[in-house]
């Protein structure tokens, strides 16, 4: 029987650190950090993420506001809102909740965010700096995944890691961060042949494909670490990509959903926002 990774316990250390940084700044007479998020439509996963962001910001003393827009908003109107936030010196972080409706050009919209306020690490500037190894904002879920792996006590160096999913938000940046830790990385996706066989060679598996319960014990090498990034809404409940009850009997560590990477993602987002805030006000 493997160990259920306690995301709540892991994030407490980070959140205490963030809270102390903010308190120190406010005690000096500085304004609190400010985050603006834009949500188009009513995607269940995005709504859940916005709620968790708002709750955490309230606990840590961060100003947070969500602008929720209609599904049929025009490209120009959403860009106008982003540019208004870019020009507002009291705003430290701007978030676009993804996915966007298909009528909107996601790449063009995210590219309009100032790289200095791009706390999700989605702009071309931040992505380019990240893959070059320069200082940048890194996608928060990817950061959270690496922190959760490290908190198992695993030495990532030399391990074989399989990332299932190749999105710009999770799959690719997770693979890069694992490479930075000297892992040998295989990226799998919908066109990968013999997926189960590939996964069974992995010491570390990161599942980020959006298919509830897809990863079962048949994918797992005995003793592997399994990180579940899935966040699909089923019957008003967040469900992961990993069949937890099945996999826990084969893996050494498994992250639950909820209570796993989602908590880390939100915490890393706030950590990035605080870094932007400190650059702005100190």
* Known binding-site residue numbers: 165-167, 231
User: In three state form, how does the secondary structure of the chain look?
Assistant: CCEECCHHHHHHHHHHHHHHHHHHHHHCCCCCCEEEEEEECCCHHHHHHHHHHHHHHHHHCCEEEEEEECCCCCHHHHHHHHHHHHHCCCCCEEEECCCCCCCCCHHHHHHCCCCCCCCCCCCHHHHHHHHHCCCCCCCHHHHHHHHHHHHCCCCCCCCEEEEECCCCCCHHHHHHHHHHCCCEEEEECCCCCCHHHHHCCCCEEEECCCCCCCECHHHCCCCCEEEECCCEEECCEEECCECHHHHCCCCCEECCCCCCHHHHHHHHHHHHHHHHHHHHHC
Q: Which residues are annotated as a binding site for NADP(+)?
A: 165-167, 231
Please check whether residue 225 is in contact with residue 252, taking contact to mean a CB–CB distance below 8 angstroms.
yes
Closest CA to 164 of 122, 123, 206, 125: 206
């Amino acid at each position: 029987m493997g160990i259920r990774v306690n995301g709540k316990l892991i994030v407490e250390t980070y959140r205490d650190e963030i809270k102390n940084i903010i308190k120190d700044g406010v005690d000096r007479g500085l304004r609190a950090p400010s985050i603006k998020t834009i949500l188009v439509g009513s995607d269940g996963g995005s709504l859940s993420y916005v709620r968790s962001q708002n709750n955490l910001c309230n606990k840590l003393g961060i100003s947070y506001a969500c602008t929720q827009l209609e599904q049929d908003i025009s490209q120009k109107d959403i860009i106008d809102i982003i540019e208004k936030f870019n020009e507002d010196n009291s705003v430290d972080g701007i978030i676009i909740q993804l996915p966007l409706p298909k009528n909107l050009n996601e790449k063009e919209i995210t590219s309009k965010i100032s790289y200095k306020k791009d706390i999700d690490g989605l702009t071309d500037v931040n992505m380019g700096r990240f893959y070059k190894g320069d200082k940048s904002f890194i996608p928060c879920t990817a950061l959270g995944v690496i922190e959760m792996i490290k908190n198992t006590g695993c030495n990532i160096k030399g391990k074989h890691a399989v990332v299932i999913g190749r999105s710009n938000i999770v799959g690719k940046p997770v693979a890069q961060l694992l490479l930075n830790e000297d892992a040998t990385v295989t990226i799998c996706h919908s066109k990968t042949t013999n997926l189960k066989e590939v996964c069974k060679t992995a010491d570390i598996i990161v599942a980020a494909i959006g298919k509830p319960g897809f990863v079962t014990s048949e994918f797992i090498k005995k003793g592997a670490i399994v990180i579940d990034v899935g966040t699909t809404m089923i019957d008003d409940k967040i469900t992961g990509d990993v069949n937890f009850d099945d996999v826990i009997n084969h893996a050494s560590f498994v992250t639950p959903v909820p209570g796993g990477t989602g908590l880390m993602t939100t915490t890393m987002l706030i950590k990035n926002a605080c870094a932007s805030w400190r650059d702005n006000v100190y």
